[in-house]
Amino acid sequence: MRILAISGSLRDGSYNTALLRALREEAPEGVEVDLWQGLKVIPPYDQDDDVVPGPEAVDAFRELVRESDAVFFSTPEYNSSIPGALKNALDWGSRPVATNVFRNKPVAVISASAGAFGGVWAGAELRKVLGAMGARVTEAELAVGHAHEKVTEDGVIEDLDLRQGLSDALQTLVTSALDRAAVA
Amino acid sequence: MSTIEETKQGIPTGTWQADTVHSRVAFEVPYAVATFTGEVPDFEASLVDGKLAGSAKIASIKVKEENLEAHLLAPDFFDAEQHPVVSFSGSDIKRDGDTVEIDGEISIKGVSQPAKITGTVNGPSVDHFGANRIGFELETKLDRTKFGMNWNMPLPNGEQALGNTVTLKAELTLVAQDA
């Protein structure tokens, strides 16, 4: 099983990206977690550019999602919502509406911030957006507050509760993907 | 003189199958200031010894905008990939003149809930080709949130855009099958 991991943050020292690096360590046997690095090169959404073939970076992104069995997001919170770059990529991913690559795709959302609430509102926003796109939004829910104290840039986590939370979220996503594979 | 021959009143025994060309399964739900409607054209229904049952393939859902159809098929609503069929099964039909009442069970998105169906009946009558037909116009209301369909969107006035109470309608023409 192949899971695409998408961080909503672009900066090198992102806690969210670090959490996704750590996620790879939690992957059960047979599950491969690939961290997507292409968010920064997705152009601004413009319907005039949404043609076939589309912008190279967009076509590559859509193909990655299409080939993945599930997608795991970790997002920071900007102004009570998700980062613009992430929303922009999802807007590309949501087209064409009826047959977009996220439709029925199992997805999990976690969030992290240096503050106390762990980006919980961004997590809720992202779940709403993904639901509207037709994704299969799992029950997995994890908001990592004070993330700078819990994860290193390399994705090393010593907090056992956080490791367990990540593992549980991943397992929820894997289960959803297996359920889908059984009927799709 | 009518070409339709009244044969008998009451709910007949035997097996009757829906003539889907002359039948319709539809839904209505309040949306903002109006009513949103749609149909599920790929369905079957039967009346067997006075008990009505039916099912519909939700992938056939038709509304006036294909992007909305896609949303209705998604996990937010029917989750057609995981739950492709909605169904109804009823106990004995209670008929009083032209009105009917049916206690039954509706299954949507993997959830079964009791439902009380009310409506009218016409026939049985023999049509101009000699087939024996019975017609029903049926309706029930259900709470979509009881079937795991919780999507909504707040309006600027604070109210929710989509109502929770959905009206299901079935206009059925059933034809007697040869014994």
Compare all CA atoms of chain A with the CA of B83 and give the residue at the minimum distance: A183
* Closest chain B C-alpha to A177 CA, distance in angstroms: 12
Is the pLDDT assigned to residue B77 strictly greater than 60? Answer: yes
pLDDT tens for chain A, 184 residues long, are: 999 999 999 999 999 999 999 999 999 999 999 999 999 999 999 999 999 999 999 999 999 999 999 999 999 999 999 999 999 999 999 999 989 999 999 999 999 999 999 999 999 999 999 999 999 999 999 999 999 999 887 778 889 999 999 999 999 999 999 999 998 7
Burial of B74 from C-beta contacts in 10 A (0-12 / 13-18 / 19+): buried
- Which residue among A98, A137, A183 sits closest to B75, beta carbon to beta carbon? A137
Q: Which amino acid is residue A151, in one-letter code?
A: V
Q: Which long-range contacts (CB under 8 A, 24 or more apart) does A8-11 make?
A: A8/A39, A8/A73, A8/A74, A8/A75, A8/A76, A8/A82, A8/A83, A8/A85, A8/A86, A8/A122, A8/A126, A9/A75, A9/A76, A9/A83, A10/A39, A10/A40, A10/A83, A10/A85
pLDDT category at B156 given cuts 50, 70, 90 is very high
Q: What is the pLDDT of residue A139?
A: 94
* Closest chain B C-alpha to A19 CA, distance in angstroms: 27
Do the Cβ atoms of A134 and B67 come within 8 Å? Answer: no
Pairing label, strands A106-112, A70-75: parallel
Complex ipTM value: 0.79
pTM check: above 0.90: no
What tokens does A14 get? Answer: 């992102």
Distances (CA, A) of A159 to A144, A167, B40: 11, 12, 51
Q: Which domains does chain B have, with CATH numbers?
A: 5-176 (2.40.128.110)
Where in B19-131 does DSSP place strands (E)?
A: 24-31, 34-39, 43-48, 51-57, 85-92, 94-96, 99-108, 111-126
pLDDT category at B7 given cuts 50, 70, 90 is very low
Q: What is the pLDDT of residue B66?
A: 85
Number of structural domains in chain A: 1
What phi and psi, each to the nearest 5 degrees, are found at residue A69? Answer: -80, -25
Among residues B164, B179, B174, B161, which one has the least CA distance to residue B31?
B161
Compare all CA atoms of chain A with the CA of B65 and give the residue at the minimum distance: A98
Q: What is the pLDDT of residue A59?
A: 98
Do the Cβ atoms of B71 and A134 come within 8 Å? Answer: yes
Residue numbers in B near A97 (CB within 8 A):
66-67, 70
Q: What is the pLDDT of residue B9?
A: 61
Helix H or strand E segment including A180: helix A160-183
Q: Mutation test of the interface with chain B: which of A47, A94, A103, A176, choosing the one with the most B Cβ atoms within 10 A? A: A103
- Which residue among A98, A131, A135 sits closest to B151, beta carbon to beta carbon? A131
Q: What is the pLDDT of residue B178?
A: 77
pLDDT category at B8 given cuts 50, 70, 90 is very low
CB A145 within 8 A of CB A152: no
Compare all CA atoms of chain A with the CA of B150 and give the residue at the minimum distance: A131
Across the A:B interface, residue pairs with CB atoms under 8 Å apart total 36
Is the pLDDT assigned to residue B3 strictly greater than 50? Answer: no
The DSSP code for B177 is: P
What tokens does B86 get? Answer: 């909605």
Q: Mutation test of the interface with chain B: which of A97, A105, A125, A129, choosing the one with the most B Cβ atoms within 10 A? A: A97
Q: What is the pLDDT of residue A31?
A: 97
For residue A69, the domain's CATH number is 3.40.50.360
Residue A78, domain extent: 2-183
Is the pLDDT assigned to residue B52 strictly greater than 60? Answer: yes
Per-residue pLDDT tens over the stretch B19-37: 999 999 999 999 999 999 9
Compare all CA atoms of chain B with the CA of A102 and give the residue at the minimum distance: B74
Is the pLDDT assigned to residue B6 strictly greater than 60? Answer: no
Q: Mutation test of the interface with chain B: which of A104, A125, A130, choosing the one with the most B Cβ atoms within 10 A? A: A104
The Cα–Cα gap between B54 and A150 comes to 55
Residues of B contacting chain A (CB within 8 angstroms): 66-67, 69-71, 73-76, 79, 81-82, 151
What tokens does B2 get? Answer: 């009518």
Q: What is the pLDDT of residue A156?
A: 86
The Cα–Cα gap between A76 and A79 comes to 10
pLDDT category at B179 given cuts 50, 70, 90 is low
pLDDT category at B10 given cuts 50, 70, 90 is confident
The Cα–Cα gap between A60 and A43 comes to 12
Is the pLDDT assigned to residue B1 strictly greater than 50? Answer: no
Among residues A116, A110, A120, A114, which one has the least CA distance to residue A140?
A110
